[in-house]
A = this chain, B = another copy of it.
Amino acid sequence: MTRNELFQHIQKKQSYLCVGLDTDIQKIPSHLLQSEDPIFEFNKQIIDATHEFAVAYKPNIAFYEALGAKGWDSLQKTLEYIPKDCFTIADAKRGDIGNTSGLYARAFFDKKTSGLDFDSVTVAPYMGEDSVKPFLDFEGKWVILLALTSNTGSSDFQQLNIGDNEKLYEKVLKVSQQWATPDQMMYVVGATKATLLQEIRKIVPEHFLLVPGVGAQGGSLQEVSQFGMNSQCGLLVNSSRGIIYVSSGKDFAEKAKQEAQAIQQEMEGYLSKYL
């Protein structure tokens, strides 16, 4: 999916919501455990219920990998089930030396070898340019590079000063822009504070930002939208647990739908106000 196509879907659905499919076998409603593939069955119902209000889906690969080969099957079925007008993100946080990153790229982008064909994959920047580039060799695919994450550990290294009054995550944003255009690269920015977002937008005015940590983790969708939006929206705001685990009963999909719709309606307001 190209940047323009993504923007068109955002305009059409009046939403920049990404639904995180952090599907945990220990957390899904118990009545699903009888089905042949409970993980896929849960995802299928969540996707059916929310795709009208979401422009992207983001399975976190850890949840599938924890189940071994079976989890990989559930992931493949889930990806195939996601409607084609939704942007798909393999939240894998991979990164290895060049030839190995090329294999991870095949794992997530090359349907022929792995069965998977995501639009994008999240990548950790620690190993530098040659660990990121192999993902960019796949035409039409995206790298979503970790810049500033929303967990407490982000203060350990990401927020340390590198050189003169510049933080590591800012350096990552600046350096990595030389590796790819805003048509191939997005950034994970777990920033919900207005001042931080304004600073980040000075460094990466055009790129899409994938913003976690809104909702359940306490960030303000209003601030993210006001200070993070650019002329093509430039935002994908993720909610995982806040949507998929609203209810643990038989009404889980209906409740997820209501939550997704509520977020979409809030986003519709911000799109008319800030775009």
Residues of chain A having any CB pair with chain B under 8 Å = 22, 24, 60, 62-63, 65-73, 76, 91, 93-98, 100-101, 103-104, 106-107, 110, 113-116, 124-132, 146, 149-158, 160-163, 168, 171-172, 175
Contacts and interface: CB of A to CB of B under 8 A. Distances in A.
When all copies of this chain in the complex are counted, the total is 2
A40 to B, nearest CB: 13
Given A68-B72, A69-B70, A129-B156, 6 more contacts: A63-B100, A66-B104, A67-B113, A97-B150, A128-B156, A130-B153
Nearest to A105: B66
A38 to B, nearest CB: 13
Contacts of A67: 113-114
Contact of A114 (B65, B156, B160, B161): B65
A171 B161 CA distance: 12
Contacts of A72: 68-69, 72
17 contacts: A60-B103, A62-B94, A62-B107, A65-B107, A66-B114, A68-B116, A69-B69, A69-B70, A93-B95, A98-B153, A124-B126, A124-B127, A127-B146, A127-B158, A130-B151, A132-B153, A157-B175
A47 to B, nearest CB: 21
Nearest to A169: B126
Of all A-B residue pairs in the complex, the 7 with the closest CB atoms, nearest first, are A128-B153, A128-B156, A62-B103, A68-B114, A69-B72, A97-B151, A65-B107
A115 B65 contact: no
A125 B128 contact: no
A268 B57 CA distance: 53
Contacts of A124: 93, 95, 124, 126-127
A32 to B, nearest CB: 17
A163 B150 CA distance: 23
B114 A129 contact: no
Contacts of A106: 66
B171 A160 contact: yes
Given A69-B76, A94-B93, A103 B161 contact: no
Contacts of A156: 125, 128-129, 175
Given A66-B107, A72-B72, A103-B62, A127 B114 contact: no
Contacts of A24: 103
B154 A127 contact: yes
